[in-house]
């Protein structure tokens, strides 16, 4: 009995020593592993209401809207880095720059980029939105976007005319707010264009200014940009003639230098030379543009007078006229002779004469066009030489139009030439 009592306490001690293992493997351990309420409860982390609520970020309601003003009001306010919107007519283009002016006479340049400017031509009306800055001392709307309002301006911009060196000096002073205004310089001369066809030097009186040929893809497509401007300028430089030229006066750098900008040869206004008087006027098959087929020639300039032809040809024997299929060959002047006609001489082709006599032609003359209706009387013909016949008039009759027509006869007529003589007053 004593022995059994001793063993029982020992057994209890052993069991007590094993007891803590049961506590370690209890749900306390698994509670930490599986109880992820704290770890997986991402309500604070995954609740992206604060993060994904982008109403503040994406809402443009807080972005400043462009201040829409007339060009003059923008320049008067002149708040740097402020976004403005305005509308004007394109007066000059150069790469990505579009110079615009409104009906109030105020102008500004907008930098829209070369791609946006590519389809533009002068006269387009555009709306631009950009950031106000000063570029080369002058106002500019930078990084501007544009919208084409109209292809043409119903009230085109009229240039300010500058005809003296004093006026040009005044227009290119230190007031850079007027940079970009559309002007017309009257009575200038020019040096030859630069070898790169980009500029030339104009002179008005004692003052010189550089004309810069702005690059414009729109005007280049119309064959009226730099190459054409340079060609016109070089011709005027060679002749030494004075001429007028339009463009925009703009501040070209930060040192107060002004240029005249133009993107189209159409801004050059040169007087057309007076047509040289040719007397007498001599008509031939070649001058009338005739070929080896009977045809009409609507208008052809012969010795500076416009002529018309109906159903005539030239097969190598001169002006050939016939009556066929109810069509009567004729030729006539569309434009009045500059002075009274006093003589018309017809020289028949020798190889075809006398088979085809001069009586095969009818002659009409008058003070108005004989093209459609022969209002003038048929004229008598006088033989004046071998194969040659003449119709004469008094200068006092003031005959300035004529028509020679093939009547309704079977034979053709062949003319080497027709000579029209005018009475030109002596100086």
Last residue in a domain, options 208, 243, 269: 269
Is residue 31 assigned to a domain? no
Average pLDDT (217-245) is: 96
Is residue 288 assigned to a domain? yes
Asked whether residue 345 falls in the same domain as residue 250, the answer is: no
Please give the residue range of the domain that contains residue 204. 160-269
Instruction: Return the percentage of the chain with pLDDT > 70, whole number.
Output: 81
Residue 141 sits in a domain whose CATH number is: 2.40.50.140
* pLDDT of amino acid 39: 43
* CA–CA distance, 211 with 252 (Å, rounded to integer): 11
Average pLDDT (148-177) is: 96
Asked whether residue 353 falls in the same domain as residue 379, the answer is: yes
| pLDDT at position 40 over 50 | no
| pLDDT at position 38 over 60 | no
| pLDDT at position 148 over 80 | yes
What's the whole-number average pLDDT of the chain?
A: 85
Last residue in a domain, options 249, 269, 289: 269
* pLDDT of amino acid 378: 62
Asked whether residue 294 falls in the same domain as residue 418, the answer is: yes
pLDDT tens-digit series, residues 324-378 = 888 889 999 999 999 999 999 999 888 876 555 555 688 888 898 888 765 555 6
Q: Are residues 288 and 300 in contact, defined by beta-carbon separation less than 8 angstroms?
A: yes
Asked whether residue 324 falls in the same domain as residue 361, the answer is: yes
| pLDDT at position 58 over 70 | no
Asked whether residue 292 falls in the same domain as residue 414, the answer is: yes
Is residue 74 assigned to a domain? yes
- For the chain, the domain total comes to 3
Last residue in a domain, options 269, 304, 329: 269
């Amino acid at each position: 009995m004593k022995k059994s009592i001793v063993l029982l306490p020992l057994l209890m001690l052993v069991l007590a020593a094993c007891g803590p293992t049961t506590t370690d493997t209890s749900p306390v351990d698994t509670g930490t592993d599986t109880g992820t309420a704290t770890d997986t409860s991402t309500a604070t982390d995954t609740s992206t209401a604060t993060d994904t609520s982008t109403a503040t970020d994406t809402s443009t309601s807080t972005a400043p809207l462009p201040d829409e003003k007339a060009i003059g009001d923008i320049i008067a306010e002149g708040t740097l880095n402020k976004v403005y919107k305005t509308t004007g007519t394109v007066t000059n283009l150069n790469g990505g720059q579009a110079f615009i002016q409104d009906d109030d006479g105020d102008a500004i340049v907008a930098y829209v980029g070369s791609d946006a400017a590519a389809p533009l031509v002068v006269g387009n009306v555009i709306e631009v939105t950009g950031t106000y800055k000063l570029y080369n001392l002058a106002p500019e709307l930078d990084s501007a976007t544009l919208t084409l309002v109209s292809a043409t301006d119903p009230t085109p911009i009229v240039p300010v005319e500058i005809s003296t060196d004093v006026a040009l000096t005044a227009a290119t002073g230190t007031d850079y707010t007027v940079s970009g205004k559309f002007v017309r310089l009257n009575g200038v001369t020019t040096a030859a264009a630069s070898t790169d066809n980009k500029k030339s030097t104009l002179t008005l009186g004692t003052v010189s200014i550089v004309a810069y040929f702005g690059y414009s893809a729109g005007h280049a497509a119309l064959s009226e940009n730099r190459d054409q401007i340079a060609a016109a300028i070089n011709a005027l430089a060679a002749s030494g003639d004075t001429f007028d030229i339009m463009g925009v006066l703009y501040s070209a750098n930060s040192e107060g230098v002004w240029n005249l900008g133009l993107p189209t040869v159409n801004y050059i206004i040169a007087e057309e030379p007076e047509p040289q008087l040719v007397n007498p006027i001599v008509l031939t098959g070649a001058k009338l543009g005739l070929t080896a087929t009977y045809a009409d020639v609507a208008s052809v300039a012969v010795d500076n007078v416009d002529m018309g032809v109906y159903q005539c040809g030239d097969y190598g024997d001169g002006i050939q006229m016939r009556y066929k299929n109810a069509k009567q060959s004729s030729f006539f002047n569309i434009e009045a002779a500059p002075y009274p006609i006093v003589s018309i001489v017809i020289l028949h082709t020798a190889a075809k004469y006398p088979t085809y006599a001069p009586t095969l032609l009818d002659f009409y003359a008058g003070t108005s066009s004989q093209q459609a209706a022969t209002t003038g009387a048929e004229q008598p013909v006088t033989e004046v030489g071998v194969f040659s016949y003449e119709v004469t008039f008094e200068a006092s009759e003031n005959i300035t139009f004529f028509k020679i027509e093939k009547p309704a006869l079977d034979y053709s007529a062949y003319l080497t030439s027709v000579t029209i003589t005018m009475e030109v007053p002596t100086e």
